[in-house]
Amino acid sequence: MQGAERSPGEDPASVGAFLGAASEVAARLLEASAVHVLCHFDGDGLCSGGLLLGALHRANVPVQVSAIQGLTSGTIERIRKTTPPLVVTTDVGSGQLDRLERLHTPVIVLDHHVPEGEGGPWLTHLNPRLFDLDGTFGACGTTIAFLVTLAMSEDNWGALPTALAGIVADRQHLGGARGLNGVVVEQARERKLVRCLQGIPLRGETVDRALKEGIDPFVRRLHGDAVAVEALLQEVGLDPMAHLDSLSQQQHSMLSSRLCLELLEQGADAAILADAVTEQWFFPAGGSAHDLSAALDACGRLGRPSVGLAAAVGDRGALAAAMRLSDTRRGAIAAALRPIVGGALRTSAGCYVVEVPESGIAGAVAALTLMFLVHPDRPVLAVAPDGDRLKLSLRGSRAQIARGLDLHRAMGLAVAEVGGSGGGHPIAAGGRVPPGSLERALTAIDREVCTQLRLEAQGTPAASPSGS
Ligand SMILES: [Mn+2]
């Protein structure tokens, strides 16, 4: 793929070196007698796994894909027994290099997480971070997998919807595509494979339903209120039944501006809204990256990864099933957001803490709370029951990262303190801790976040969502 000279915000030489390494990986995949792909089970993971599944299938390379929650020693042992000639991990693996090395079979890691461990002779590790490229906002597992498949064959541009859905799933579209994502989007535009609309991305078919049922953005005054939605649409002169992908840029901008006003009034932060106003990607054959992303994410979170993989490869029936799962998940997230709107959150020294009824939506609730419901001077921690443990999900903002936030480190310290497990990215981290250890874990997170963001360790007055 050409494009070293077209990378917004990245050093062209680094992009070129990365694409060169991606081509070498592509050549090895095409030569493999069989490939076992292990992908993470979230939206980014399923998209990246689906891209490889489709591309290898088209190239007549026998391929099998397993969606996994994490690379546990049990998973490693199971894989080792099957002695696959080549293992590829996508959106997972960089944090478990030493464990993968113990497979004693060739492994290619395609991941953007912070690397941990050394690996060894069995491993090939393709991670933008190793090329001095942005792996937090500028490339996700799907980006890496897509660039590898493009190096296998230009025909794989046909899977662009899945590639952009993966980027949205990891929320790297916020603030506009950059880094390696920017390289992909720019070339897709040149090839007329995508229509970009600037504004607040909305999900669903019709404008009316997007506003009534939408959670991202979560507009408190409109959510679930048909009368309020109808009045607002009349005000901006939009047909409630208009399909989102039929809006002109001017109509989309007008609606976005009106929604931004609503969000500012409910207390959302102007800087975060500036990020939320971004490109939404629509495809000539219909649908948007946002809808596809939500559908695939729901498949993973609701324990139906095989439906998600089939949808990522383009199976129509699977896509319809995935869309229904997405509706279910959206309803559960909305139900968890409503009490937070009503003030059900507490403010610790370093976080806003919200309680969520189920672990599968904790990350999403934390992210949406941070974006739309609190003053974002500190990250949001969502806590949910998760079997015999507690799930912790921490989400921060880009502005907080610029101030020094590193949630991967904060979560690492917290789980080490209480005997749990976890990690992630500077902007988003998760962990599982023993029941009863929340306050100790929170103390450790608070201590670290206060240091990183130079917050007062005690005494910053509690903020609450405005208007509640
Ligand atoms: Mn990812």
Domains parsed from the chain with CATH numbers: 4-194 (3.90.1640.30), 196-282 (1.10.8), 345-453 (3.10.310.40)
Mean pLDDT of 197-225: 92
Mean pLDDT of 145-159: 98
pLDDT in tens, 76-114: 999 999 989 999 999 999 999 999 999 999 999 999 999
On the question of pLDDT at 16 being above 70, the answer is yes
On the question of pLDDT at 3 being above 60, the answer is no
Give percent of the chain above pLDDT 90: 79
pLDDT at 184: 97
What is the whole-number distance in angstroms between the Cα of residue 423 and the centre of ligand 1?
A: 13
What is the whole-number distance in angstroms between the Cα of residue 243 and the centre of ligand 1?
A: 30
What is the whole-number distance in angstroms between the Cα of residue 378 and the centre of ligand 1?
A: 23
Distance separating alpha carbons of residues 144 and 110, to the nearest angstrom = 6
On the question of pLDDT at 400 being above 60, the answer is yes
pLDDT at 9: 66
Helix (H) or strand (E) holding 176: none
pLDDT in tens, 215-227: 989 999 999 999 9
What is the whole-number distance in angstroms between the Cα of residue 44 and the centre of ligand 1?
A: 5
What is the whole-number distance in angstroms between the Cα of residue 237 and the centre of ligand 1?
A: 39
What is the whole-number distance in angstroms between the Cα of residue 95 and the centre of ligand 1?
A: 12
What is the whole-number distance in angstroms between the Cα of residue 140 and the centre of ligand 1?
A: 5
Angle 445-392-352 (CA atoms, 0-180°, nearest 5)? Answer: 60
pLDDT in tens, 214-259: 998 999 999 999 999 999 999 999 999 999 999 999 999 999 999 9
β-pair type (421-424, 389-395)? unpaired
Question: In 3D, which of 172, 100, 176 has the Cα closest to residue 141?
Answer: 172
Q: Are 261 and 279 in contact (CB under 8 A)?
A: no
What is the whole-number distance in angstroms between the Cα of residue 435 and the centre of ligand 1?
A: 27
Going from the C-alpha of 78 to that of each of 130, 166, 384, the distances in angstroms are 29, 27, 29
What is the whole-number distance in angstroms between the Cα of residue 298 and the centre of ligand 1?
A: 15
Residue 139: pLDDT band with limits 50, 70, 90 = very high
What is the whole-number distance in angstroms between the Cα of residue 39 and the centre of ligand 1?
A: 10
